[in-house]
Structure 1
Amino acid sequence: MSAMLEIDSLHKSFGPKPALEGVTFSVMEGEIYGLLGHNGAGKSTTLGIILGMVAPDRGEVTIGGVSVQRERANALKRVGSIFESPSFYEYLSGWENLKILMSYSVRFDPDEARRVVEMVGLTERIQSKVRTYSHGMRQRLALAQALLPMPRVLLLDEPTDGLDPEGIKWFRDFVLKLRKSEGVTVLFNSHLLGEVEVMCDRVAILKAGRRVHEGRIADLAGEERIYEVDLDRLEVALPFLELQGCQVLSPGRISLPDSVDPAVMVAALVGLHVRVSAFAPVRRSLEDLYLEITR
């Protein structure tokens, strides 16, 4: 795969305070990439620079090999986004909003608009005034706007913020289906780490304007084999585990070396008259990694 979106050594300060200090990462074609970090970490500044709304002090963004800083219109012509809080004309219908907002950048295509409206599930309400829309419907309208015309790159800034669990699941399934059917490259920023873990191929974590981690979601488990255990007679069990090369991380969590078979370990503990109520592998989550890094 080739890089569709390249962020190269971005620096940006607002007054004396640096917002970004050398942020670099690449998003491959057809990839869903998560951008994470606390409030103030630099996520919104990065997205603003990608969209050409913020000028970097140094560094460059290229989309499909075209520089946003040198050829903004050309670079962004196949980019769709939901950035910060989408705004609409409340007194107009969803359809009229799409016509106006789309006309700012390209010629309005009614057939394409109807296709996208059908995709996001707004056909029955697209002629209703936006002031009658629920929050979830507004997010779907924002998504329809971002998909007109169908982009090669989709930037999503907290797209599920404020949605109920059903709306969050719909959004997640939609983005995954869109990537599969259209090959769209997605940069996804969210505080819902569980959603990021399910959706994204790779993630970058920003902290105080610096990229402090980048990696694949599939590699989260790592090489260490960690087990959640519930044992009695700890005065017998813990010294025995350490003697077998296990690292006792806490009374309820241990790390097993590769040479140790967990089934054999359980049998040995039972042979020592230790009651084993639980002995289950623990998968390291994105939340675990995120908290380790940001703390």
Structure 2
Amino acid sequence: MTNTLNCENLSKRYGDVVAVADVGFTIAPGEAYGLLGPNGAGKTTTISMLVGLLKPDTGTVVVGGTDLAADPMAAKAKIGYVPQEIALYPDLTGRENLRFFGRLFGLPRKALRGRIEEVLDLVGLADRADAKLDTYSGGMKRRINIGAALLHRPELLILDEPTVGVDPQSRKAILDGVERLVADGMALLYTSHYMEEVERICDRVAIIDHGAIVAEGTRHELVELVGGADRIELTLDGDVETAVAKLRGVGGVTEVVRTAAGSVRLIAEGGRYLLPAIISTVDGIATVTAVEVVEPDLEATFLHLTGSTLRD
């Protein structure tokens, strides 16, 4: 099967700052691919290069067999891109926005009329199609924004944080619609700050940090990277630095770090059974005011690889 997206060796530098370093991945038809990373990790720069908004210093992007550098218009015509910010006109109705963008895509008027109705049904806004966009809720605006990107039936759909700030009903509608598109054979690149969305939708996930992909695979493959270890979060009151040094000597504990939020994170095999030893180790040095044990999941893998939460 020919991949819908092939990108190889993408790099982008701004002076001495390396924004993206040798990033590459593929997405097959009918595959949902998640791109996760902390803020500033290089996600937006990578996406900007994939859609032709930013020229890479090195690397290639091929969409549906078309090289983006060699034939940018043909390659871009195969992409539906939904950015983080709403890219619509508030003074137009939902239908008028779709008509405008459909004409930009070069769709014939007669075909466009039917396609607009299909898209409105897909995003669940047929009943609000003739209301001005500035009367829509935030979630409705995001749904019509996705609809605009689907008008020309792209081979690759790129959704950058599509559910930020939306209501639960709109989030469900967006996720249900995305799953139907993937099931129908569309390739999807998905970024989100909601790990549960990525776990629900994506077949494979890449974790990017400091401009480089540090891990890639299915959810199961990524979770195995932490070796089945538990993550233990401790909130301590007292001599935290000394406590951290002592905790590194506890048998079964493989990693101890201070987090940006001020807590102490441990990675350990059988974390629940180690809690008595952990607490006794810091006794007299610091007081444990809160403790949480998290068994291995995609969030734990992300924390292990990047040292931060997805929303950091």
- How high is the TM-score relative to the length of structure 2? 0.75
> Structure 1 residues 253 and 191 mapped into 2: Cα distance closer, same or farther (>3 Å)?
farther
CA–CA distance in structure 1, aligned partners of residues 152 and 230 of structure 2: 49
Q: Counterparts of 1:10-89 in structure 2 under 5 Å? A: 10-89=10-89
CA contact (8 A) 1:2 1:28 kept: yes
> Bigger CA drift: 11-20 or 146-155?
11-20
Q: Is the 8 A contact 1:227 1:253 kept in 2?
A: no
- Distance in 2 (CA, whole Å) between partners of 1:192 and 1:89 is 27
Q: Residue 143 in 1 paired to residue 151 in 2?
A: no
Deviations 1:24-76 (A, max 9, x none): 11112211000011111110111111111100011111111211111111112
From 179, 203, 206, give the equivalent of 2:205.
203
Unmatched runs of 5 consecutive residues or more in structure 2: 232-251, 253-267, 275-293, 308-312
Match for residue 281 of structure 2?
none
What secondary structure, in the 3-state scheme, does the structure 2 residue paired with 1:252 have? helix
**What is the identity, as a one-letter code, of the residue corresponding to 1:146?**
A
Q: 1:227 offset after TM fit, Å?
A: 8.6
Distance, in Å, in 2 between the alignment partners of 1:5 and 1:30 is 12
Residue 161 of structure 1 is matched in structure 2 by 164
Matches of 2:81 and 2:50 in 1, distance apart?
10
SS of residue paired to 2:163: coil
CA contact (8 A) 2:223 2:301 kept: no
Cα distance change of structure 1 residues 140 and 225 upon mapping to structure 2, 3 Å threshold: closer
Question: Tell me, what secondary structure is at the counterpart of 2:44?
Answer: helix
**Per-residue deviation, residues 127-173 of structure 1 (Å, max 9, x unmatched):** 11111011011011101101102211100000011112332222222
Structure 1 unmatched ranges of 5 or more: 229-241, 243-247, 255-281
Distance 2:228 2:54 in 1: 44
Q: Tell which structure's C-alpha radius of gyration is larger.
A: 1
Letter in 1 for 2:27: V
- Cα pair 1:3 1:27 within 8 Å, conserved: yes
User: Take 1:19 and 1:128, find their aligned partners in 2: how far apart are those partners?
Assistant: 41
State the match for 1:95 in structure 2. 95
Which amino acid is the alignment partner of residue 212 of structure 1?
V
Name the SS of the counterpart of 1:38 in structure 2.
coil
In 2, Cα distance between the equivalents of 1:73 and 1:90? Answer: 27
The aligned amino acid for 1:62 is: V
Match of 1:178 among 181, 198, 206: 181
Q: Tell me, in whole angstroms, the C-alpha distance in 1 between the residues paired with 2:273 and 2:222.
A: 18
Please name the residue that 1:124 is paired with: 127
RMSD: 2.2
Question: Residue 190 of structure 1 aligns to which amino acid in structure 2?
Answer: S
CA separation of 1:93/1:225 partners in 2, compared to 1, >3 Å: closer, same or farther? closer
Answer yes or no: is the 8 Å Cα contact 1:79–1:155 preserved in 2.
Answer: yes
- State the Cα distance separating 1:251 from its structure 2 match: 5.6
- Residue by residue over 1:98-128, the C-alpha shift from the partner in whole angstroms, topping out at 9 and shown as x without a partner, is 1112212222410011111111111111111
Contact 2:216 2:222 in 1 (8 A): no
Structure 2 residue 269 is the aligned partner of structure 1 residue 249: yes
Which segment drifts farther, 81-90 or 219-228?
219-228
- AA aligned opposite 2:71: E
Q: Is the 8 A contact 1:202 1:215 kept in 2?
A: yes
Equivalent pairs: percent with the same residue?
36
CA distance in 1, matches of 2:57, 2:74: 21
- 1:240-274 Cα shifts (integer Å, max 9, x gaps): xx9xxxxx7356157xxxxxxxxxxxxxxxxxxxx
Distance 1:65 1:163 in 2: 35
CA distance in 2: counterparts of 1:89 and 1:173, whole angstroms = 25
**8 Å CA contact retained: 2:35, 2:190:** yes
Q: Is the 8 A contact 1:112 1:148 kept in 2?
A: yes
Identify the match of residue 299 of structure 2 among 287, 290, 293. Answer: 287
Paired with 2:66 and 2:37, the residues of 1 have a C-alpha distance of 27
Q: Does 1:134 align with 2:137?
A: yes
